[in-house]
Amino acid sequence: MENGRVRPILLLSFFAVIFSGCCPSGFAAPAQAIKDQATVSLVDNSIESSITIYPCDFQGIVRDAATGAPIKGASVTFVKEDRSKSWTATTSESGRYRRELPEGRYNYIATHSDYILASSTSPVEVKAPYTRRVRGAGGIVREITVTSEKSRTVDISMKARPTTVLLATTTLLTSTPELEAAIGRYVETVRRKDGLAASRVVLDSEECRTAYGVRLADPASWEEIRDVLRTIADRTGPCYIILLGGPEVLPVPQMVTVSGSPWYLPADGWYIDFDGNGVVDEGYSISRMPDVGSDSVAVAAALETASDVHEAGGFGMIPEMLLSTRCWSAPPAGLGDACRDDAPTCGNCYATPPYGVCDECDHRAEMFDQISRSDYIFIMGHGSPVSFATNDHTAIFNLENVADVDISRHPIISGWVSCNTGQLYADRPSFATELLRAGAAAFFARTTDQGTPAYFADKFEPYIKGESPSGRYRLGDALNELMREVILRKGESERRITMQLCMFGDPTLKRAAFELPAAGMMATASAFSRGS
């Protein structure tokens, strides 16, 4: 103190504490700043106080709910109750984690590729301890510790991923010998290769009533279909649900009501939102293998593709192709600073035009060849169920161009940046029906022009590529779990843009455990032939 005044630097520290919520409940400083003690001196006529702010922490162990074994590589995230900030830790070999953070109330989210997402049902709280130096009568100074709740032990149990796969359909799907053979092969292949128990359930059949005690009365009612699926899921527990058929067989939900408000948001995710709160339920994953009308040719083709990929040990993602409107745009629309503004190509990114199918696109044949040789294709720009286009609506790739490319490599195709590409027609083809018919392993898309959650865009590829700390996710787990995690992290404002995301293909597919980069395959083979 100087001349009866609080030192300026201490006064600034005091106001920093006040405006951060009095102690660090709203503190947004980086971890290193949290570790540094901050001291504030207060003076009035009778009391001198010294407040020291300490870091808080959560710590604990993450275990398998069934065996009690520790889980290595689980990500444990603590999200502030107001969802303004989050802090993440990764568990060690012993399943333990520790995360320093400011005081406050938090919800946790635990994720791992082999386990169902676990989240808190109510906030947990930590409070930073501080001492007050109080000077009383006679000049006696004593220190009082106000709180000591800076550390909380939060142990978390996680349940293993489901092993049940329901191939759900209705009697409206045309049964053919090809469809029956494809279903039989799929059931046998996923059991032998992945340990999954798959079975077909015809929701409006007597066999469904016998097996599960419920039978669908109105195949045109998606709400009734959801109720039937929920009753079945009560028996099976968490599961993968694959809808066999297009809108004529199993309708796509169109108008939904959330919190008393009607939404137009066509998406299959509503089928596994059993409680109707606008968030997909924990532990479930849903996808669709569609066709036009009641036809089952594309459905059978998609099942055969899924069996081929399971038989091969998983799908590949090398080489990959990024078909972009502008390569130099910021991700996920482009590669950022990876190329010049005037560069038509940059790495594996293909700018349109000159790539595309318009009259001015003079690299059409090269683009078709690149698509045909790619295991992962990421398409950006404007969209519809029958076209991808640039920002000025110049065509990049149209529905009829599916016939111009060879996708027998069974690529993964992501079109979730573009609007409306996931919508289905009951009476004519769409990207979803024709890409799967032609051999795509999966097609990811969105069904409206609402936008895509930034957190989903940032995490989806690392999840399926196996670049996250917790390993490789199955396709459906990555999609549906991120749909849930986005809302847990960001709040109800994200429900619209999250629930529109959808998948066509087999949600149980996983990237192959071992994959060589395309450029290195021949060199490695040559080295082996030389005995290196």
Q: Across 461-470, 473-482, 493-502, which has the greatest mean pLDDT?
A: 473-482
pLDDT tier for residue 246 given thresholds of 50, 70 and 90: very high
Of 128-132, 155-159, 263-267, 298-302, the one with minimum mean pLDDT is 128-132
Of 51-65, 343-357, 451-465, the one with minimum mean pLDDT is 343-357
DSSP result, 92-136: -TTSEEEEEE-SEEEEEEEEETTEEEEE-SS-EEE----EEEEE-
| pLDDT given for residue 328 in this prediction | 58
Average pLDDT, the chain: 85
Q: Which two tokens stand for residue 94?
A: 């012993």
From CA 522, how far away is CA 339, in angstroms rounded?
28
| pLDDT given for residue 325 in this prediction | 74
- Per-residue pLDDT at 331 exceeds 80: no
Return the exposure string of 294-328: e unless at least 16 CB atoms fall within 10 Å of the residue's CB, then b.
Answer: bbbebbbbbbbbbbbbbeeebbbbbbbbbbbbbbb
- Cite the DSSP H helix spans in 325-428: 364-372
Domains 1-160 and 164-289 in one fold:
no
- Residue 210: its H or E element: helix 206-212
Superfamily (CATH H level) for 164-289:
Gingipain r; domain 1 (3.40.50.10390)
- Per-residue pLDDT at 120 exceeds 80: yes
Measured CA angle at 512 (ends 499, 443), to 5 deg: 30
Tell me what percent of the residues of the chain surpass a pLDDT of 90.
67
One CATH from 3.30.70.1560, 2.60.40.1120, 3.40.50.720, 3.40.50.2000 for 1-160: 2.60.40.1120
Query: What fold is seen in the domain 313-521?
Result: Rossmann fold (3.40.50)
Tell me what percent of the residues of the chain surpass a pLDDT of 70.
80
| pLDDT given for residue 531 in this prediction | 32
| pLDDT given for residue 468 in this prediction | 85
- Per-residue pLDDT at 23 exceeds 90: no
* Residue 458, CA distances (Å) to 297, 331, 467, 499 in order: 35, 9, 12, 17
pLDDT tier for residue 351 given thresholds of 50, 70 and 90: confident
| pLDDT given for residue 523 in this prediction | 36
pLDDT tier for residue 338 given thresholds of 50, 70 and 90: low
DSSP assigned state of 70 = B
Of 26-30, 190-194, 295-299, the one with minimum mean pLDDT is 26-30
Looking at 271-315, which runs of residues are DSSP E strands? Answer: 285-289
- Per-residue pLDDT at 51 exceeds 60: no
Residue ranges covered by each domain of the chain = 1-160, 164-289, 313-521
Q: What's the mean pLDDT in 432-440?
A: 98
